Amino acid sequence: MISYSLSHVGSQINSISIVVDGEIHVVKNDHVAFDDILEILGSGNSESRKEELLEKISVKKYVENLSPRISIQDEFVCYDGEPVNEKLSSIILTFLEKKFDISHYTRFLDKLMQNPSKRSVDLVYEFISRYNMPITPEGNFLCLKAVTSEFLDKHSRKINNSPGQVVEYARNKISDDPNHACHEGLHCGWHGYMHSFARENDRIVMVEVNPADVVCIPNDCSMQKMRVCKYKVLKDMGSWESFRGSNIPNKFDSGVHASQIEEDYSESVCPECHELNEDCECCSECGHYDCECEKGEYRCGC
């Protein structure tokens, strides 16, 4: 048997007291499923929806219904019983408290845990939260990439990066060693990385990445880029000249913004290959990254 009463503050419902088979539940209006619970109680057939009602009342059950492998234990989000990244756990719990939809985060976590690299699992959310990179409703995240004016990759100039293209690269050909600054693979990052890599005639595209497809977050470029094995090109963001002055946020823990990044990099980055000077391998004879001089060194230019 289900009985309930509503508590009001003015015209607003403040809480619901519900008795289900003799067990009392008090649901406040900040409960993530408050509106759903109200709908069940007012539907006229709450008795037949008792199990659904109890699952809505239980926040833990609510989360587990979104993904059976995700649970809340001792005020911490767990995956298969193991605690997840502390920042990710905190944002999911905060969203629950504020009645925000958490399904995109649970889908992101489901996909992230399919990544075979422990380092990627540990660092991907740190990376995207540091730079405030958006997570999509499907659980993927958005990155930026510099391409040529013809939407080709800047290394081989053979890979089509036009909007709508799904670009893939064999994962087992990509180094997962973070000390390898440049290596085969598909590279992307956020606003600050564009300032250290894009050139005057380039275009900037937005790409969508499945967290399971992140291979490595290299240590160079202040960890502003990543190597992935697959992405989908979503949108042409315009030329680098117009994009560099845009108001797309580049949020760091320190609050540094794109203009400051550009200034900081101006003296420490090679103008040809756009690597930090300490990592630069451009030819000492002519200064170019794709040099074929006898004394020069070839550089990948990715």
Average pLDDT, the chain: 78
Question: In this structure, what DSSP letter does residue 221 have?
Answer: G
**pLDDT tens-digit map of 244-292:** 766 554 433 323 333 333 333 334 345 444 444 444 555 554 544 444 4
Question: Residue 261, class by beta-carbon neighbours within 10 Å (0-12 exposed, 13-18 middle, 19+ buried)?
Answer: buried
pLDDT at 299 over 80: no
Query: pLDDT band for position 179 (50/70/90)?
Result: confident
Its pTM surpasses 0.75: no
**pLDDT tens-digit map of 206-226:** 999 999 999 998 876 556 789
The pair of structure tokens assigned to 212 is 């399971």
